[in-house]
């Protein structure tokens, strides 16, 4: 046909910018074969070049314009004649004219919205592709290149466990429990099965992951079930009160995120199917829907930057932080050993000699203020909550951390005719009594104490005690 002028006289090649450094993903094609495609995410710019190569150098190619389109469409296999396009962006690369040499045209689709993830199922296919077209009078020259698109999600705010009791009345009662209801594609399903009542002979039990694909609406809805995996978790007859653990690793299977009413054309849901079989080959099963979502890959440098940011945040509180974590004046050292705290959400780790971790979800002020309260020096004979005050002249060391204000005025002299009795109403310590007795002996030996009363006031030296009798 080429000699009649109807054949293609040029070839089109689409080259993406940064293709050598971009990640790729495996996507099942229409014929069922796995293909490697360049991976893009929602909001990313798609750019590159369209290279037009003439098959015969020196020949002329007449065209009515060159354009490139970014298309997202859904293909239903039972309705192949109709393709539903939910995204279509077009850019003109060249005006009508003649091509006399090989030409390259750059293109760019900035910040393209890609709200759905690519999918290839039993009855439906969702794809994104670029289509370059050389418009001619009789037959156009086109080239299509598919790309892979993944939609990323964040951790769900609410992720309640699944717990349900099922069975046959007066014959079999079981209770199954799964740790979560929403799992990412690299997650692990952990659960348990409790046998509350067993009056039938169970031969074995198995668990399966089922993908349910629904296409169409109303009477034209088609449902296709596919067993992703199935394995046996129990062999033999169970007894009442027995517990069977469940652990399923999702990373080894070809799974996609859960899709609900994608452009009102199809849905993809996943179920955990628990099946029990008795000795008469009767099957008892219970299906429970789970939600799958795709988690972003966190590079290693991102975790390191989070660690540096956490340490930098704690540097603003040197008065509370331990001395080995921040620079500045050291904090008071606690007399009691530090309590080791383990948390799965901790971002950074401390040296091996320390047992305290840094938390990202707890307030650092709250953590360190509690530490500073625990690190106050206390007396070994006194609880930390009690504060002891000392009097003027007391020989015991002060144990209260609050400052004690000492009076500058001398203590008042006792009234004449009174005597000092430290043990009349109170108990003092033996050291103070001994000092008082030695002082009285010294005054008596010097003749300064007279037993007979006269009009002169009695001068008494100040005794180092806290207790004075009432006048």
Q: Each residue of 84-103: pLDDT tens digit?
A: 999 999 999 999 999 888 99
DSSP string, 74-123: EEEGGGTT-EEEEEEEEEEEE-SEEE-S-EEEEEEETT----S--EE-SS
CA 313 to each of CA 38, 88, 310, 372, 444: distance values in angstroms, whole numbers, following the listed order: 39, 47, 5, 18, 70
Residue 424 has pLDDT above 50, yes or no: no
Q: Is the pLDDT of residue 39 over 50?
A: yes
Tell me how far CA of residue 45 lies from CA of 90, 108, 278, in angstroms.
14, 7, 57
What's the mean pLDDT when you consider all of the chain? 73
Contact indicator for 257, 185 with CB cutoff of 8 Å: yes
DSSP string, 251-272: TTS-----EEEETTTEEEEEEE
Highest mean pLDDT among 15-24, 51-60, 195-204: 15-24
Q: Can you tell me the distance from the alpha carbon of 99 to that of 89, in angstroms, rounded to the nearest whole number?
A: 25
More confident residue, 12 or 459: 12
Would you state the pLDDT for residue 461? 45
CA distance 38 to 128: 11
Provide mean pLDDT across the span 312-319: 44
165 pLDDT above the threshold of 60: yes
| Angle between helix 364-374 and helix 300-314 axes, rounded to 10 deg | 50
Q: Are strands 141-150 and 34-41 parallel, antiparallel or unpaired?
A: parallel
Q: Which two tokens stand for residue 454?
A: 């006269």
pTM: 0.61
- Residue 95's pLDDT is 93
352 pLDDT above the threshold of 50: no
Domains (range + CATH), the chain:
10-150 (2.60.40.640), 162-293 (2.60.40.640)
Specify the length of the chain in residues.
471
Higher pLDDT, 104 or 167: 104
Residue 68 confidence (pLDDT): 96
Averaged pLDDT, 51-58: 88
Cα separation of 114 and 43, whole Å?
Answer: 7
Write down the pLDDT at residue 30.
Answer: 73
Tokens, residue 290: 């789970």
User: With bands split at pLDDT 50, 70 and 90, how would you rate the model's confidence at 430?
Assistant: low
Q: Residues 289-295: what's their mean pLDDT? A: 94
pLDDT range class, residue 462, cuts 50, 70, 90: very low
What's the pLDDT tens digit per position in 253-288? Answer: 989 999 999 999 999 999 999 998 888 888 888 899
Rounded Cα distance between 371 and 333, Å, is: 10
218 vs 4, more confident: 218
Q: Identify the pLDDT of residue 237.
A: 86
Q: Is the pLDDT of residue 105 over 90?
A: yes
Provide the pLDDT confidence category of residue 298 given band limits of 50, 70 and 90: low
Helices (H), 377-462: 430-445
Q: Are 316 and 363 in contact (CB under 8 A)?
A: no
Residues whose CB is less than 8 angstroms from the CB of residue 57 and which lie 6 or more positions away in sequence, other chains included: none
- Interior CA angle at 207 toward 202 and 210, to 5°? 140
Q: What is the pLDDT of residues 374-408, one digit of tens each?
A: 444 444 444 444 444 444 334 334 444 444 444 44
Q: Percent of the chain beyond pLDDT 90?
A: 40
Q: Are strands 182-184 and 283-293 parallel, antiparallel or unpaired?
A: parallel
Q: How far apart are CA 299 and CA 317, in angstroms?
A: 29
Least reliable range by pLDDT among 213-227, 243-257, 455-469: 455-469
- Largest Cα span, the chain: 153
SS3 (DSSP) at 397 = coil
What is the reported pLDDT for 309?
54
14 or 153, higher pLDDT: 14
Residue 446 confidence (pLDDT): 57
Confidence of residue 82 (pLDDT cuts 50, 70, 90): confident
Lowest mean pLDDT, pick from 61-70, 183-192, 348-357, 389-398: 348-357
Contact at 8 Å (CB) between 124 and 76? yes
What letter does residue 2 receive in the DSSP assignment?
A: G
Residue 150 confidence (pLDDT) above 50 = yes
pLDDT at 303: 45
Report pLDDT for 439.
Answer: 75
**The predicted structure's pLDDT at residue 307:** 52
Quick one: pLDDT band at residue 360, thresholds 50, 70, 90? Answer: very low
For residues 31-45, average pLDDT: 90
Q: What is the pLDDT of residue 187?
A: 94
Contact present, 246 and 189 (Cβ < 8 Å): yes
Residue with the two structure tokens 């995996």 = 229
């Amino acid at each position: 046909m080429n000699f009649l002028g109807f054949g293609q006289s040029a070839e089109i090649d689409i080259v993406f910018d940064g293709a050598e450094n971009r990640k790729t993903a495996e996507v099942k094609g229409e014929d069922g074969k796995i293909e490697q495609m360049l991976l893009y995410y929602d909001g990313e710019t798609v750019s590159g070049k369209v290279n037009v190569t003439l098959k015969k150098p020196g020949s002329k190619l007449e065209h009515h314009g060159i354009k490139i389109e970014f298309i997202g469409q859904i293909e239903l296999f039972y309705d192949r004649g109709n393709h539903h396009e939910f995204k279509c962006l077009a850019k003109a690369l060249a005006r009508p004219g003649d091509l006399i040499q090989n030409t390259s045209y750059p293109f760019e689709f900035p910040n393209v919205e890609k709200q759905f993830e690519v999918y290839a199922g039993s009855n439906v296919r969702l794809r994104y592709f670029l289509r370059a077209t050389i418009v001619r009078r009789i037959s156009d020259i086109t080239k299509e290149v598919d790309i892979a698109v993944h939609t990323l999600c964040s951790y769900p705010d609410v992720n309640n466990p699944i717990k349900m009791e099922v069975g046959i009345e007066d014959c079999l009662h079981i209770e199954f429990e799964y740790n979560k209801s929403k799992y990412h594609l690299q997650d692990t399903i952990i659960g348990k099965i409790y046998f509350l009542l067993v009056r039938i002979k169970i031969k074995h039990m198995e668990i399966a992951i089922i993908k349910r694909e629904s296409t169409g609406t109303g009477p034209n809805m088609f449902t296709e079930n596919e067993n992703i995996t199935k394995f046996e978790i129990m062999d033999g007859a169970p007894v009442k009160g027995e517990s069977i653990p469940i652990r399923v690793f999702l990373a080894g299977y070809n799974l996609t995120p859960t899709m609900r009413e994608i452009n009102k054309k199809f849905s993809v849901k996943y179920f955990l199917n628990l099946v029990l079989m008795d000795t008469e080959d009767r099957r008892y099963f219970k299906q429970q829907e789970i939600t799958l979502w795709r988690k972003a890959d966190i590079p290693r440098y991102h975790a390191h930057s989070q660690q540096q940011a956490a340490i930098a945040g704690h540097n603003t509180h040197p008065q509370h932080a331990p001395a080995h974590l921040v620079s500045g004046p050291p904090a008071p050292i606690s007399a009691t050993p530090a309590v080791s705290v383990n948390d799965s959400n901790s971002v950074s780790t401390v040296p091996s000699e320390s047992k305290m971790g840094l938390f990202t979800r707890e307030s650092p002020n709250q953590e360190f203020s509690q530490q500073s309260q625990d690190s106050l020096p206390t007396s070994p004979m006194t609880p930390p909550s009690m504060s002891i005050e000392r009097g003027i002249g007391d020989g015991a060391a002060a144990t209260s951390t609050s400052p004690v204000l000492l009076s500058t005025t001398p203590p008042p002299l006792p009234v004449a005719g009174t005597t000092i009795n430290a043990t009349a109403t109170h108990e003092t310590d033996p050291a103070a009594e001994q000092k008082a007795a030695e002082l009285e002996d010294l005054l008596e030996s010097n003749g300064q104490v007279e037993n007979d009363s006269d009009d002169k006031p009695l001068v008494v030296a100040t005794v180092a005690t806290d207790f004075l009798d009432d006048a």
